[in-house]
Amino acid sequence: MPEPAPPQTDQKTVYFTLAADSGWRQRIQLALADLGEGARFFRLIWALALSDIKQRYRGSTLGPFWLTISMGVQIGAMAFLYADLFHLQLRSYLPYLTASMILWNYLTALVLEGSGCFIASETLIKGNRIPFLVHAARCVVRNTIVMAHNAVILLIVLVLTRAHLSFSLVQSVFGLLLWMVDAVALSLFLGAVCARFRDIPPIISAVMQIAFFLTPILWQVDILKSHSVAMELVKFNPFVYLLDIVRDPLLGKGFDLVQVLAALCISIMVVVVSFFGFARCRGRIAFWV
């Protein structure tokens, strides 16, 4: 009795996968294939993000709204203190501080959790063949959902302070989409690097803490007008431009062309560097986690 013929295998795919690190051309092709395949898993990304939130707040009645309540109390206490220290009117300072704190916490979560996205998904990476984009996008979607809960605070503050609401609110969506693209790209790169070098996540956390005080979040840029050196340092802070393209429209100021161009340049650099870094590390991520 003749032996059954072995199942046919796509030799090109097998060779392509095994030769992942044989040259930049194949690395880039595999990275693009990962991104294209991962984009089709949007339902899985959404389901995993919701599952993470449900697991985190299992047994809690209010769930993620506990974070909203605690942040609201924190912002309220800080607003009275810093408005008095900076000699500002509470009615104008409270919306600024609220938008700044909500957006900065969102940005910090994107960076910190994104850097550990592959480490946190170790079981899935080792047990299933899932595009790496899924793990990075899962982290971004999860934190975006939490940020949406916290955005309720800003809406309440804008109504209470009778802030001028205009079409500029819609412009902030452009900034948020830009953030999400940057966050996915950065998560793919930092997630791989942090999986290889476990000492980097604490360094990133320390950098974000320092950036919190160097970025106009608690304070406004206007107080530095008499300090030319400090103003120049602010201009070289990339977080300033990324924060302004979302915060300013929320406060009714609209876009500033310089801020938009600077934010786009920063985003292009982040995406390009992250893509090539991910392409270089992609074939080893499963062995590093």
The pLDDT tens digits of the residues spanning 160-187 come to: 888 777 777 888 899 999 999 999 999 9
Distance CA 174, CA 162 (A): 24
> Which H/E stretch holds residue 74?
helix 65-85
Cβ(62)–Cβ(69) below 8 Å: yes
Q: What is the pLDDT of residue 135?
A: 95
pLDDT band at 227 (very low <50, low <70, confident <90, very high): confident
Distance CA 86, CA 78 (A): 12
Distance CA 91, CA 83 (A): 9
Show me where the domains of the chain are located: 25-287
Mutual orientation of helices 168-196 and 132-160 as an angle, nearest 10°? 140
Which of 229, 28, 193 has the alpha carbon at shortest distance from 116?
193
Distance CA 87, CA 81 (A): 10
**For the residues 235-245, what does the mean pLDDT come to?**
93
Distance CA 192, CA 1 (A): 51
Q: What is the mean pLDDT of the chain?
A: 87
pLDDT digits (tens, 9 = 90+) for 15-70: 444 444 568 888 899 999 999 999 999 999 999 999 988 888 777 767 777 888 88
pLDDT band at 9 (very low <50, low <70, confident <90, very high): very low
In this prediction the pTM is 0.88
pLDDT at 159 over 80: yes
